[in-house]
């Protein structure tokens, strides 16, 4: 290789080394600039988040705006299947139905069994139950005293079978009371959905900020707010689950009472009784009350008879002992009175001597 060629090769090598050093310097500077930029962007993002959080709270806590938000969400989700205005309105409603029914029955066990079977057939369930016995003479071993049982149930029935289940209860006894109530919770449900959407969006922003946080103070601040948001989100989701259950399953408070005779139900007002009818009814009631009093006294006497017999024997013994004691005392007194006194005895002796 000639001297000229060696000089050219040396110049080319020097130029390549110079370009490589420049590229390395530029790359290192770019890395440092990127790190500083990320730190500044994290601080700026947290400042923007604080401003947006205030706006979000003010925006989503307004009832009208949250309801409009839920309606927009519903219209978007049903955009694929066009519905009429009435269908959209009915689909958006969240109705909660509750009912209360009081029944009297002569066949208690059979009615309880059939009611439980119907609850299972309709796909419902018993939320709570309680049974009591109103008979206060259960401790008597006497078949004449029949039980007076009462069953209280809180039943959950699918809402589509609510009316059908209530109507079928008439087959198990006589209805003494029935009432129903319907509550529209659509606005409350929509407000809850809006709160959930706002909190989920806020949670996503906080997670992004957590990934971009550089300093420990930034991470702690973001984590504290994230914990609070997640707690609120869980509470709203729990409320939504409870409302979904109330909408899907209607609540019925059922009371079944065992009776020996059904209470007469008068659909028409009875005519006012005449004077003779009222008089006869009063005499009948007085006679019935008098017989009940005599019956009570008789049963009381029978219940107290053993004690009265023992008391009578004690009285007889005491009286007999008292009489004997008095008789003995009287005999002793008569005997003492029959004996002469010492003065009289001396006088009688003196008289005899004079004679």
Flag whether 271 is in a domain.
no
- pLDDT score, position 67: 40
Give the distance from CA 215 to its chain's centroid: 50
Question: Helix axis angle, 63-77 relative to 85-92, nearest 10°?
Answer: 120
Nearest CA-CA partner of 236 in 50, 58, 61, 59 = 61
Flag whether 176 is in a domain.
yes
Flag whether 2 is in a domain.
no
DSSP H or E run through 157: strand 149-158
- pLDDT of residue 32 exceeding 70, the answer is no
Flag whether 354 is in a domain.
no
Flag whether 62 is in a domain.
yes
- pLDDT score, position 243: 94
- pLDDT score, position 70: 41
Number of domains in the chain: 1
- pLDDT score, position 81: 58
Flag whether 124 is in a domain.
yes
* pLDDT category of residue 164 using cuts at 50, 70 and 90: very high
- pLDDT of residue 317 exceeding 80, the answer is yes
- pLDDT score, position 355: 52
Nearest CA-CA partner of 162 in 178, 174, 176 = 178
Query: At 290, phi and psi to the nearest 5?
Result: -65, -45
Q: Which domain holds residue 243?
A: 46-79+95-264
Flag whether 328 is in a domain.
no
- Beta strands 249-258 and 174-184: pairing type? unpaired
Is residue 173 within 8 A of residue 110, CB to CB? The reply is no
Flag whether 332 is in a domain.
no
- pLDDT of residue 327 exceeding 90, the answer is no
């Amino acid at each position: 290789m000639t001297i000229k060629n060696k000089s050219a090769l040396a110049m080319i090598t020097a130029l390549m080394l110079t370009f490589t050093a420049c590229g390395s310097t530029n790359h290192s500077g770019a890395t440092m600039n990127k790190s500083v930029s990320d730190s500044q962007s994290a601080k700026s993002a947290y400042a923007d988040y604080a401003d947006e959080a205030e706006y979000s709270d003010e925006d989503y806590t307004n009832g009208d705006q949250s309801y409009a938000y839920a309606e927009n969400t519903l219209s978007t989700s049903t955009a694929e299947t066009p519905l009429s205005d009435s269908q959209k309105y009915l689909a958006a409603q969240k109705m909660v139905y509750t009912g209360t029914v009081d029944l009297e029955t002569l066949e208690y066990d059979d009615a309880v069994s059939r009611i439980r079977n119907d609850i299972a057939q309709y796909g419902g369930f018993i939320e709570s139950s309680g049974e009591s016995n109103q008979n206060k003479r259960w401790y008597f071993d006497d078949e004449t005293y029949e039980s007076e049982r009462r069953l209280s149930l809180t039943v959950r029935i699918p809402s589509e079978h609510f009316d059908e289940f209530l109507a079928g209860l008439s087959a198990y006894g006589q209805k003494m009371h029935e009432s129903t109530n319907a509550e529209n919770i659509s606005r409350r449900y929509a407000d809850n959905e809006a709160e959930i959407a706002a909190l989920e969006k806020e949670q996503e922003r906080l997670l992004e900020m957590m990934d971009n946080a550089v300093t420990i103070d930034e991470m702690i601040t973001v984590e504290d707010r994230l914990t609070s948001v997640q707690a609120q989100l869980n509470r709203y989701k729990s409320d939504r689950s409870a409302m979904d259950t109330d909408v899907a399953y209607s609540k019925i408070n059922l009371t079944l009472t065992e009776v020996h005779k059904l209470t007469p139900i008068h659909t028409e007002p009875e005519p006012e009784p005449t004077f003779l009818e009222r008089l006869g009814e009063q005499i009948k009631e007085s006679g019935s009350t008098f017989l009940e009093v005599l019956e009570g006294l008789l049963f009381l006497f029978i219940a107290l008879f053993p004690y009265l017999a023992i008391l009578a024997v004690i009285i007889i013994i005491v009286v007999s002992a008292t009489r004997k004691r008095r008789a003995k005392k009287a005999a002793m007194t008569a005997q003492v009175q029959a004996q002469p006194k010492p003065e009289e005895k001396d006088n009688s002796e003196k008289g005899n001597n004079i004679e």
